[in-house]
Amino acid sequence: METTLRGVGVSHGVAIGEVRHMGTAVLEPPAKQIPAEDAEREQQRARKAVEAVAADLMARGNLAGGEAQAVLEAQAMMAQDPELMADVERRITVGSTAERAVYDAFAAYRALLAGAGEYLAGRVADLDDVRNRIVARLLGVPMPGVPDSDEPYVLIARDLAPADTALLDPTLVLGFVTEEGGPTSHSAILARALGVPAVVALPGAGELPEGTVVAVDGSTGEIFVNPGEEKKARLAAEAAERKAALAAATGPGATSDGHKVPLLANIGGPADVPAAVEAGAEGVGLFRTEFLFLDDSENAPSEEKQVTAYRQVLEAFPEGRVVVRVLDAGADKPLDFLTPGDEPNPALGVRGLRTLLDHPDVLRTQLTALAKAAEGLPVYLEVMAPMVADRADAKAFADACREAGLRAKFGAMVEIPSAALRARSVLQEVEFLSLGTNDLAQYTFAADRQVGAVSRLQDPWQPALLDLVALSAEAAKAEGKSCGVCGEAASDPLLACVLTGLGVTSLSMGAASLPYVRATLAKFTLAQCERAAAAARAADSAEEARTAAQAVLSGE
């Protein structure tokens, strides 16, 4: 019997295949005491297991490259956290086995993360994966992970750790569905980078029997269980139509009546550039420079190292636009030399620009490196600050840019509702705005971007979020300045049309989404996009907003 389930679609495309479940999590090790004379041996076992898991995560990162590499390297650092290791060794000293000590130490740290605010709570899935890998190695059992299969399948999991998502084989894993997660979780972002259809936040997904045939629509979030031949044929036809439209859509982003909407790429470093260039990105709308800093949490990268990395990216887009976000440290990206370790709620504390203003030497070095990297290049460099709250923040950043001799446009990210509400004030100090819709939604709705239970409030179709986008775009237009979107909202082709209708002047997304957005924008006029935007804002829920916009654009 055919049934339909609905989660949150996070990666475009359709996958039809049999269900395979993620390998079961590692069982809890028994709590047995060891003799005191065995403590040193157990501590050595624990250290070796930790180092092996960290090395494996680094190796997986090197294979995956791009954003996945940065995520996995962060996990490796998590495995080697000196405080965690000290706690493990302390527990072994008082009689725990190595595997039990690891299990209990990680459980204690997990509880701290879960209660430490939105961003750090979102790293719990990553921490659990590290724990499971270490315990599995100590117990001598298979690592948790994707199932072995010679035939293509649809993967079902409670959640997917970055280490699993990063190395999914798209020829075998047709798509995946998770019970937890959100549209901006690491797994969702990596799924889009891989081009694997994915749906998250689907309660009960784990109850689908092994071998059940499902059709996964990563655009709508629908899961069709036991689809009939007619449904399969319709989905296949729609997928073929999308593929043809993608192949036909080339060149700069624009509506069907010629209104230009530059389509830019979100990148984490030089490794992400080839995919962006291949997808036809007109530049970079978000260069996340923090990945350079996460290589060593105790020391900032040298000016020379930064110059090299920045220049590699700038050279890839001659006469293109490259928007660089200065270091966004804090919250889920703590750095020992910058961020305090005792904040009760890091996501609401000293993060982003606040951190940099507290450490002006770090900001000055980064801005100087950017200035040197751009010397002699025809690229249009723009530099923006994360977590700008008001005009005073914007002024402090612009002043720092000028003092560093940076010849570039200075901008502010709109991630805090106050910046959207007072956008005209902020624009007195900077030359452009860039909307980070992931954090803007998080702070608008008090909804952790990593928690599946509140994913409906992270939906970028929420009318309240669209109102804040409209306010920012209207302010920029009134000031004769630009206002782009660099959050994951831009990767939704239908929503991209609505954002264009709201007055957004550029859209930036993961490279894999660029062809979808380009093809969809080219179908509609600016006036149609404006009518769709008005209909979406008039709705009372995200689902109603999406339906209303779809109705306008489909001519219903």
Dist CA 187 CA 181 (whole Å): 8
> What CA–CA distance (Å, rounded) separates 91 from 454?
36
12 carries an active-site annotation: no
- The residue behind tokens 């069907």 is 256
Whether the CB-CB separation of 123 and 74 falls below 8 Å is answered with no
Residue 412: phi, psi to the nearest 5?
-130, 135
CA dist 556 and 547 (Å) reads: 11
Helix (H) or strand (E) holding 214: strand 213-217
CA 235/CA 93 separation, integer angstroms: 59
CA 122 – CA 189 distance, rounded (Å):
14
Look up 529 and say whether it is catalytic.
Answer: no
Query: How many CB atoms are closer than 10 A to CB 345?
Result: 13
State phi, psi for 354 to the nearest 5 degrees: -60, -40
Catalytic residue among 401, 483, 486, 529: 486
Which is the catalytic residue, given 12, 186, 401, 497? Answer: 186
User: What is the DSSP-derived secondary structure letter of residue 252?
Assistant: S
Ranges assigned E (strand) in 62-125: none
Residue with the two structure tokens 């509400």: 421
Q: Is the separation of the CB atoms in 128 and 4 below 8 Å?
A: no
Length of the chain: 556
State the amino acid at position 89 in one-letter form.
E
Q: What's the start-to-end Cα distance of the chain, in Å?
A: 31
**Among the listed residues 532, 514, 552, the one whose alpha carbon sits nearest the alpha carbon of residue 246:** 514
> Collapsing DSSP states into helix, strand and coil, what is residue 58?
helix
- Round to whole Å and give the CA distance between 144 and 27: 11
Q: Are 415 and 436 in contact (CB under 8 A)?
A: yes
Largest CA distance in the chain: 79
Helix (H, G, I), strand (E, B) or coil at 7: coil
List CB contacts of 546: < 8 A, sequence separation 6 or more.
Answer: 461, 494, 495, 536
| 140 Cβ contact list (under 8 Å, min separation 6) | none
Pinpoint the alpha helices (H) of 279-430. 290-293, 303-315, 353-358, 360-374, 391-403, 417-421, 423-426
The vertex-353 CA angle with 350 and 357, nearest 5°, equals 85
**Which residue is it, tokens 């530099």?**
383
Axis crossing angle, helix 98-114 with helix 124-139, rounded to the nearest 10: 180
544/276 Cα distance (integer angstroms): 33
Catalytic residues: 186, 486
